[in-house]
Amino acid sequence: MKISIEKNKKTKETLISYFKVKDKKAYRFGLLSEVTSDMKNAMTIIVDTNQRLEVQEFDEIEAVLKKSGIEYNALSVRANEKRLFGLPIDRIRKKKRAAERLFVFDINTEDFSGALYSGFLENYDIAICFGRKKELKEIADIAKEDLGEVLFNKEYFDDCIYSSALFFTIRSSIDISEKAKELIK
């Protein structure tokens, strides 16, 4: 099997690893599209540009979001510290680290399109959350400080899916194991 599926009995979460799949980007988009198309309401997407496969200019990202008609919050967050042999490179070079951004936005499930995915989302770790329980601005402000605080926390969302482009894994509070298997066939 090209994917591995684990279920956490305590949290009832599903973890899918797809690192052996040949076309990882297509598989990831296919699975996320299948899951989001089953949902009836809007969803919240959170993207941390610290976690990425390729560098994309913020102007390009914002152009894709505007072209898609998406209103978004873009918050500056601290960049992950770059290290070489355990030593921070930025301190060695004495350069300031660039800020990254956390993009937080709501979209309707039918607006999760190939253009949005290939134009922006495919290169980043993303969280797709359903059943938002607090204001988007409040969630964005908390996520800016600690993204882990809002993800998979029933105080903020009914359900969450976290998809890592870097590690080829998807963590979900929704059981998506059957959909994951179907896409491999």
Segment 159-175, tens digit of pLDDT? 999 999 989 999 999 99
Predicted confidence at residue 82, as pLDDT, reads 53
Per-residue confidence band for 99, with pLDDT thresholds at 50, 70 and 90 = low
Residue type, 144: K
The strand order across the sheet containing 72-77 reads 4-8, 13-17, 169-172, 159-164, 124-130, 42-52, 100-108, 72-77
pLDDT at 95: 43
Provide mean pLDDT across the span 59-78. Answer: 88
Question: What is the predicted pLDDT for the residue at 121?
Answer: 94
User: CB within 8 A of 174, min separation 6: which ones?
Assistant: 14, 35, 130, 159, 161
Please, what is the Cα angle at 8 between 80 and 13, to 5 degrees? 65
pLDDT band at 49 (very low <50, low <70, confident <90, very high): confident
Candidates 165, 163, 167; CA nearest to 151 is 163
Between 18-22, 38-42, 181-185, the lowest mean confidence (pLDDT) is in 38-42
Confidence of residue 80 (pLDDT cuts 50, 70, 90): low
- Separation of CA 124 from chain center: 6
Give me the chain's average pLDDT, please: 87
**SS3 assignment, position 68:** coil
